[in-house]
Each structure stands twice: as structure tokens, then as C-alpha cells.
Amino acid sequence: MKKRKIAETLILIAVSALLLFGVPRFLMERVIVDGPSMETTLQNGDNILVEKVSRYFGALKRFDIVVFYPDDATKEANGRYYIKRIIGLPGEKVQIDGDVIYINDEPLQESFGSTQMGHAGLAKEPVLLGEDEYFVLGDNRFISKDSRSEAVGIVPLSRMGGKLVLRIFPFGKFGTVN
């Protein structure tokens, strides 16, 4: 009877440890928005939940809001991450002319970003995305540091941390995000 009680306690500890450390590491994570680059969709200080599984199954789509890291290191290693919206998908050609985004030479119809682009940066000339590369933009495009800048550039799948699924704070805005 005593051995069974010890075994149950060890199983309970193992399951608790898995939930405590495994869920945030491999399935879902809370991220805090830092800065105005995703306004008006997300504001500085918003808390969001990011799921980390869909990137493994090719489920990232145009207009998804994603968290990614500035290099191949993880957030745990360097504490830095970006939150942006996917605009260009693997294999596509992206170009920005004035305030118009072109995907494969066709103007992109969307209403997420601010109307003023500010600058085309790297996308002034056509950018051809590789098989696991994404072109991302902040919604506040006039000030956003995103795929247009050399500091961020094209985002390979290996740097993707996950996709936004839910805003959890502030409580008045709790819910899914367009």
C-alpha cells in the first residue's frame, strides 16, 4: 500500500512538471506586446497567448499574427522577440511601391495596416521568398521595424515562435484578434 502511494505521488509530480514546463515550452505561451508597431490591432502592454504547434504543420497563413525571434536563438536565450503580421508566404514574390503591397505582381487587398507605408525598404525591389520564408509587416507600418528592414529581414520558419490565438489582457479586450 505504501509503495502504491509513493508511485501515485511520483506520477502526480511528473504530470505537474510536464504541465508546468512542457505547455509553455512546446504548446502555448503568454507574450507581452512591447511597443506600438502593431497598433491599432494590438497595443503596448497587451498580453496574448501564442500557440506553438501550427508552424510544424504548415498552418501559417497570410494575415496571421506571429511571434518570431531576431535570430535562431529562442526568447529564453536572448529575451527578444517580434510580433508582426504575415504578408508574404513561401514561394511568393513581394514588392512594395509607394503604399501598395504587391504579391506576385497583384495588389494585396487588406485593411489591417495603416495606409501610410513610410518606406519600402528591402521590398522596393521584388523579394522572392524561399520555401520556408515569410515576409512580415507591423500594422503600424509607418514606424514598424519588420521585413522591410535589414535588421529584421525575411523570417525563416526556424525563427517562428508561434501564432497568436487569444488576447488575455486587458480583460476588456479579452478574446480573439483579427
Active site residues: 37, 84
CA distances from 53 to 1, 8, 24, 59, 83 (A): 41, 30, 11, 9, 17
What DSSP element (H or E) covers 26?
none
In 11-128, beta strands by DSSP E = 28-32, 47-51, 65-68, 82-88, 93-97, 100-103, 106-107, 127-128
Beta strands in the chain (DSSP E): 28-32, 47-51, 65-68, 82-88, 93-97, 100-103, 106-107, 127-128, 133-137, 155-156, 160-169
Phi, psi of 5 (to 5 degrees): -65, -40
